[in-house]
Amino acid sequence: MSVSRDVPGRPAPGGRAPGGTPRVALAELLAGNRRFVSGQPVHGHDVTAAAASASGDQQPYAVLLGCIDSRVPLEAIFDQTFGSICVIRTGGHVLDRAVLGSIEYVVEVLGVPLVMVLGHERCGAVEATVESLRTGRRPAGALAHLVDRIAPAVTEVGVNDPEVQPLAVRRHVARTVAALRADPLLATPVDTGRIAVTGALYDLSTGQVTLLDPR
């Protein structure tokens, strides 16, 4: 899926971008990120008015699955107002049944056309997984679940690869995207083009979001 470099029409406060297609939704996200990077957000300082305008039925145009890292606030880095996007955050953007059910709901009931999986550099969950595989020490508690889910990406890269951390981050995004595209309730709308599931990477140093798989 190619992405237009033109800035799309502004969505109404708390509403969907005009067109309601994956292309328009993705273009609006990337346009918001460009505003964020340039220091010219349009939503960042009008919280009260935005909340009031979003008090009716929600009509988001995208759902974003990202990491819990406090340096990656998804509404802020895409410069989105109340009601524009649904945000799900887990350690290392790991999928579980609750996350998958939430995405299915947003796609099927709210009709969003875009699902984005956003990884980021220096991800702590990926780092913990690399450390676990290198040392053979499995973390205690539920953290082990995150490690287990991220481990295949690290293994595919190679735990002793000098670039295992950044490469595993990208690989884990790709695996998460593939799992969502293969989900029984998402596969058909993906195949017909009603929705797009895409992966991206956030640069902690610049604030830039780069698409890893623009389909």
The tens-digit pLDDT sequence of the chain (215 residues) is: 333 333 344 445 555 555 578 999 999 899 988 888 887 888 664 445 555 555 667 889 999 999 999 999 999 999 898 889 999 999 999 999 999 999 999 999 999 999 999 999 999 999 999 999 999 999 999 999 999 999 999 999 999 999 999 999 999 999 999 999 999 999 999 999 999 999 999 999 999 999 997 55
Instruction: Confirm whether 133 is domain-assigned.
Output: no
Q: Would you state the pLDDT for residue 56?
A: 67
Which domain does 69 fall in, by range?
22-121+183-213
Q: Please give the tally of structural domains in the chain.
A: 1
Evaluate whether residue 170 is within a structural domain.
Answer: no
CATH of the domain at 41: 3.40.1050.10
Residue 60 lies in a domain: yes
Domain presence at residue 132: no
Query: pLDDT per residue over 82-116, tens digit each?
Result: 889 999 999 999 999 999 999 999 999 999 999 99
In a domain, 67, yes or no: yes
* Residue 52 placed within a domain: yes
Assess contact for 79 and 130: CB atoms under 8 A.
Answer: no
Asked whether residue 58 is assigned to any structural domain, the reply reads yes
pLDDT in tens, 13-26: 555 555 578 999 99
- 130 assigned to some structural domain: no
